[in-house]
Amino acid sequence: MAHEEARDGGANDKLVIRNIGLILSGDIANPILDADTIVAVGGRIAAIGREKDLDLSGATRVIDASGTAVTPGLIDSHVHPVAGDWTPRQNQLGWIESNLHGGVTTMISAGEVHTPGRPRDVTGLKAMAIYAQRTFSAFRPSGVKVHAGAPVIEPDMVEDDFKELAAAGVKLLGEVGLGGVKDGPTARRMVGWARKYGIQSTIHTGGPSIPGSGLIDKDVVLEADTDVVGHINGGHTALPLDQIRCICEGCGRGLELVHNGNERAALYTLRTAREMNQLERVILGTDAPAGSGVQPLGILRMVSMLSSLGDVPAEIALCFATGNTARMRSLDCGLIEVGRAADFVLMDKAQHSAGKDLLDSIQLGDLPGIGMTVIDGVVRTQRSRNTPPATKMPVIVGP
């Protein structure tokens, strides 16, 4: 697990990606851009347009996309990291790097709940959250951005605890309901304190998933009013569909669908959000590592499943894993627009897919082939070892 900070691009590094066949912006209001070239300087997007109209001089790295598609780096809104690129839940090394080969460049912790001996006292849980926030801020496995340090709240916490956590740099709460707080009034009070100090919140939804968790039903979810309804399709056991509808209609918060949840419930949530004309609320996660294991292609599989079985255009389904999450989570990535982090995935339809192109293949239920990932303007991987081989492959051509 080599330290990755040294691989970040320099302030004057200039990346040019040319000969792009399709640019998918991640913006659900405008998912496809009329452009064939992207320029990034110092790890941020500087220009998007037609090659003939852009200044490509002085590039320190040139990628010929070879007609492949470029999307924002995918975001996994729900993971449970512990220490670097190791998970004790599956005793596996390299799970984050393996997800990078599935196009995931950013991860959001829903709590470091698998930490052996996880403290439940207030002093201990605050210390562990600050430790996790510090370590993943200083260490990026294979360049992946892991936003960690998400304490699981306990009943003895008071407002000053949230103030202290925020002052220390903690910006997330772990899943409400995985600790001792399982009732609506207590959860709502503590979520309010977190929100007051700029800390985002997520709630466990559905049946228990680990020892110590319990059923969190619609009444608790609606009263707690967290920023994100975590795995509304269950992690693993989903609520009845009438309760899912009540949650969708009863709050305006994020609706998180996860790979480790109930697929029928995920499709029902998607259709409900579409009926309400609120697809911008849908975001994706894996809820990994977990008892189901580690799913390096979990986000891609969710995109393909929701597009093919949920009758959503592929370019919209990709927004669930990029721009929707970026905006909801206040991230500087996830969208291909000037000023954003230069995090990209270069992909194409898999070889021998029945689809006529990338988007058609996803809507038919196939996974795309990934040819390259870029984080902060730096090439992190080339041909994915996890996806099927792509029909067309990007290449580094210069300088």
Residues 264-323: tens digit of each pLDDT: 999 999 999 999 999 999 999 999 999 888 999 999 999 999 999 999 999 999 999 999
CB burial of residue 6 (10 Å; 0-12, 13-18, 19+): exposed
Q: In the numeric block, which tokens belong to residue 145?
A: 């951005």
Place of tokens 């984050």: 96
Provide the pLDDT for residue 2. Answer: 40
Provide the pLDDT for residue 6. Answer: 39
| Residue 398 CB neighbour total at 10 angstroms | 10
Q: In the numeric block, which tokens belong to residue 48?
A: 């998007």
Q: What is the pTM of this model?
A: 0.96
CB 304 within 8 A of CB 362: yes
Residues of the chain with pLDDT under 50: 1-6
Provide the pLDDT for residue 207. Answer: 87
Provide the pLDDT for residue 196. Answer: 98
Q: In the numeric block, which tokens belong to residue 131?
A: 């430790």
Place of tokens 């968790």: 213
Provide the pLDDT for residue 399. Answer: 78
- Residue 184: which residues within 8 A CB-CB, separation 6 or more? 219, 220, 222, 223, 224
Q: In the numeric block, which tokens belong to residue 139?
A: 């260490």
Provide the pLDDT for residue 10. Answer: 78
Provide the pLDDT for residue 11. Answer: 80
